[in-house]
């Protein structure tokens, strides 16, 4: 019997089956955890539906207090959760510690938001008020790259608005989320929070379930298309945070030595497994060689190791499927470009790939056009900034992007023309719970974080009263 439990209707229960969770740093079984069945998923939805009737009437101040209590409980166990997260996900312990701390911070900030009615009109003939009501049961589908933090993107706003939730973690990173489920069982009324694991076989059931009012999904664009199609069966509300192929445009006046660390960090955090990571760099021809050299130096110096080991800067890829996919990108880079750093698979157990810098590539190649989701960074030469912008915008993705230049006005002008939900200037991967986040084009639908993210979990209702 597993030490880990599902959370259904306020009770911590075994799964109808079990599954192994692999440590990506050594490819050994880290733990055996419960695997939910379709019947258990249905039970979780039923429990959430029943709980919604009373939860929606709980005063917002009380709902807020419970979310903050969860944040406090997570803060009290940061070290324990961070170590477990590194073991199941692979990222260095410092990154895991930051993820757990950010999780508590997101919970706390998003719980502080408010939903106020808006008086649109009040005169001698009519009074018109706009209210925001909860939707009902929300399905939260969580990916494996940030399996704890992304719960905090969705759960607090869903719960604060008065919804109940069913969380489905990734099958390769369920453990820390299940541990947080133990805290939820002690804090929230039965059925308000439910957590059911699977082997990627319950997603279609959750997204098409007639009693689920909304799906909030983070993952690949291809899976997002399936979620969208499935949710259409009952016109569910959806929030989709999908893939990206973020471009960094480095202008001719940028100092390669100064910008290289920020670009490298923006590309290799979490072994490049970040939807908003830099996936391609457009560098002006006058600084191209020097920037490539600076990035290569950083890649060669990076310490790739088990995330629990002191000094590790880049851990393994999270799972074998992604590992094999990234190795395919390495083959493409070797065949069509010039690898100037990395390009090797570590000769050891675990899904390790050294950070790789590829030059002499251009648009139309797989390594440039597709999202690698790994520690590989192609650098493309350009001669005209407007041309670089056109090439950056040609992607079907539009999650994030960045412009690098000491000329703030020029960088701002270019940033405004990028077809991305977020554009940074002289930095990348800077976000927070108070800053709205959403993708353009095939990078998503809807917004997360801030008041805009909270509104995504509500239904507008207008009360129009005759005088």
Catalytic residues, by residue number, are: 241, 275
Give, in order, the Cα–Cα distances in Å from 303 to each of 156, 169, 250, 260, 373: 36, 29, 26, 17, 19
From edge to edge, which strands make up the β-sheet containing 246-250? 338-341, 356-361, 376-382, 278-284, 246-250, 400-404, 422-425
Given a contact cutoff of 8 angstroms between Cβ atoms, the answer to whether 175 and 6 are in contact is no
Residue in 453, 448, 439 with CA at minimum distance from that of residue 246: 439
In eight-state DSSP terms, residue 131 is: E
Backbone φ and ψ for 431, nearest 5 degrees, come out as: -145, 170
Determine the number of helices (DSSP H) and then strands (DSSP E) in the chain: 15, 22
Residue 462 to residue 89: CA distance in whole angstroms:
45
**How many residues does the structure list for the chain?**
467
Residue in 150, 195, 205 with CA at minimum distance from that of residue 175: 195
Given a contact cutoff of 8 angstroms between Cβ atoms, the answer to whether 225 and 257 are in contact is no
Residue 165 to residue 148: CA distance in whole angstroms:
15
In eight-state DSSP terms, residue 10 is: T
Backbone φ and ψ for 397, nearest 5 degrees, come out as: -95, 160
Give, in order, the Cα–Cα distances in Å from 318 to each of 172, 203, 402: 8, 20, 26
DSSP string over 155-211: HHHHHHTT-EEEEE--TTS-HHHHHHHHHHHHHSPTTSEEE---SS-SHHHHHH-TT
Residue in 156, 194, 199, 200 with CA at minimum distance from that of residue 177: 194
Dihedral of the alpha carbons of 416, 420, 421, 424, in degrees to the nearest 10:
-60
């Amino acid at each position: 019997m597993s030490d880990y439990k599902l959370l259904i209707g306020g009770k911590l229960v075994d799964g109808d089956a079990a599954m192994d969770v692999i440590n990506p740093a050594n490819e050994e079984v880290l733990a055996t955890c419960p695997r939910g069945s379709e019947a258990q998923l249905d039970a979780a939805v039923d429990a959430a539906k029943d709980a919604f009737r009373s939860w929606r009437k709980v005063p917002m101040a009380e709902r807020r207090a419970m979310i903050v209590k969860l944040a406090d409980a997570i803060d009290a166990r940061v070290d324990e959760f961070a170590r477990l997260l590194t073991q199941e996900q692979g990222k260095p312990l410092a990154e895991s510690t930051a993820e757990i701390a950010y999780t508590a911070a997101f919970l706390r900030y998003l719980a502080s938001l408010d939903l106020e009615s808006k008086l649109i009109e009040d005169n001698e003939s009519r009074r018109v008020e706009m209210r925001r009501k909860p939707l009902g049961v929300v399905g939260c589908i969580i990916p494996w790259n940030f399996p704890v933090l992304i719960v905090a993107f969705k759960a607090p706003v869903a719960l604060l608005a008065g919804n109940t939730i069913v969380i489905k973690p990734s099958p390769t990173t369920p453990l820390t989320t299940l541990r947080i489920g133990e805290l939820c069982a002690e804090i929230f009324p039965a059925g308000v929070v439910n957590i059911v694991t699977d082997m990627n076989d319950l997603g279609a059931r959750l997204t098409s379930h007639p009693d689920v009012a909304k799906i909030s999904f983070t993952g690949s664009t291809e899976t997002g298309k399936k979620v969208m199609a499935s949710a259409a069966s009952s016109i569910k509300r959806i929030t989709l945070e999908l893939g990206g192929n973020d471009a960094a445009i480095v202008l001719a006046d940028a100092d390669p030595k100064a910008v290289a660390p920020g670009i490298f960090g923006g590309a290799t955090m979490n072994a490049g497994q970040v939807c908003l990571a830099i996936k391609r760099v457009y560098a002006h021809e006058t600084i191209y060689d020097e920037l490539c050299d600076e990035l290569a130096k950083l890649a060669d110096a990076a310490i790739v190791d088990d995330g629990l080991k002191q000094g590790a800067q880049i851990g393994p890829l999270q799972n074998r499927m992604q590992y094999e996919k990234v190795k395919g990108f390495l083959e493409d880079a070797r065949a069509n470009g010039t690898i100037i750093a990395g390009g090797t698979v570590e000769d050891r157990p675990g899904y390790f790939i050294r950070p790789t810098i590829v030059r002499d590539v251009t648009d139309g190649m797989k390594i440039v056009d597709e999202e690698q989701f790994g520690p590989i960074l192609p650098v493309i030469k350009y001669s005209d900034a407007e041309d670089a912008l056109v090439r950056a915008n040609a992607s079907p993705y539009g999650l994030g992007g960045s412009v690098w230049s000491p000329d703030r006005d020029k960088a701002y002008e270019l940033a405004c023309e990028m077809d991305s939900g977020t554009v940074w200037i002289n930095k990348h991967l800077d976000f927070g719970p108070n800053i709205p986040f959403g993708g353009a084009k095939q990078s998503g639908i809807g917004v997360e974080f801030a008041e805009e993210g909270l509104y995504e979990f509500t239904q507008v209702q207008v009360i129009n009263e005759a005088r």
